[in-house]
Amino acid sequence: MKKIIFALAVLLISKNSFLSAQELTVDQIVDKANLAAYYGGDDGKSKVKMTITDKQGRTRVREFVILRKNVTRGGEQKFYVYFQAPPDVRDMVYMVWKHIGKDDDRWLYLPALDLVKRVAASDKRSSFVGSHFVYEDVSGRSINDDIHELVENSDKVYKLKNTPKDKNSVEFSYYFVSIDKKTFLPIKAEYYDNQNKLYRIVEATETREIQGIPTVTKSKVTDLNTGGNTESIFSNVEYNIGIGDDIFTERYLRRPPKKWLN
């Protein structure tokens, strides 16, 4: 009899452990998705080809390299974006110091004017170099800026509704994010305006595992109001390559670190 009771107790403990491992809180889901999307490895590098298409089907292309370094995992980060093509944006640099609990620091170097320009916090939702992505898409929106609700829990995805705490700082009323349960990568974001109309969709259209890290290799943003879209293709992705802190300084806005940009 004691053996039967013991066996039932073990079964109950095992079952409860399984359930607790599966049932994540909303905050845990958000944290894991944030880490998966922006904090792979200690640092990272990728070449990006961005194709901007307007409603008439006309295209423009931007090619650049993104360097990223984590200061703390899930916390402070630094980004360096160097533009290689076309000629009218070549040598332009966008740099971000991502903070937690306060506005990020952002710089834009314009080589034609030899000018370093600070990007104001109020501009983080502006178009990123004429594309349908916004500046905030590059380094990610702070998870503390929104109220998160779990609205769907299916076999494959978590779906969250995210409502901005400061509605005057953004152009959207709320947005939904679908998160892959296996990789925790956000695979789709849908933005709604003040009339509850869907107007913007951001999707991860292709993902791969690189150095054991789930990675978005193609993404697309569609503007339903204008009919235009922008697709980004990520190649030559590398993690944990030892990028130094000195790269993310104003000195290297005018003097690109060629070693890391090939």
Residue 170's alpha-carbon distances to 94, 166, 173, 175, 193, in angstroms, are 21, 8, 8, 11, 10
Q: What is the pLDDT of residues 108-126, one digit of tens each?
A: 999 999 999 999 988 899 9
Question: The whole model's pTM is what?
Answer: 0.88
Q: What residue ranges in the chain does DSSP mark as E strands? A: 43-53, 59-70, 77-85, 93-98, 105-110, 115-118, 146-153, 157-164, 174-180, 186-192, 198-210, 213-223, 229-239
DSSP helix/strand/coil, 47? strand
Q: Which of 17-21, 142-146, 200-204 has the lowest mean pLDDT?
A: 17-21
Q: What is the pLDDT of residues 25-81, one digit of tens each?
A: 999 999 999 999 999 999 999 999 999 999 999 999 999 999 999 999 999 999 999
The fold for domain 26-260 equals outer membrane lipoprotein receptor (LolB), chain A (2.50.20)
Report residue 221 as tokens: 């943003």
Residues for the chain: how many in total? 262
Does the CA dihedral 255-131-148-156 come out positive or negative? negative
Residue 147, φ and ψ in degrees, nearest 5: -95, 125
Q: Where are the domains of the chain?
A: 26-260
Query: On the CB side of 92, how many CA atoms lie within 13 Å of its CA?
Result: 18
| Residue 220, φ and ψ in degrees, nearest 5 | -145, 135
Report the 10 Å Cβ neighbour count for 4: 8
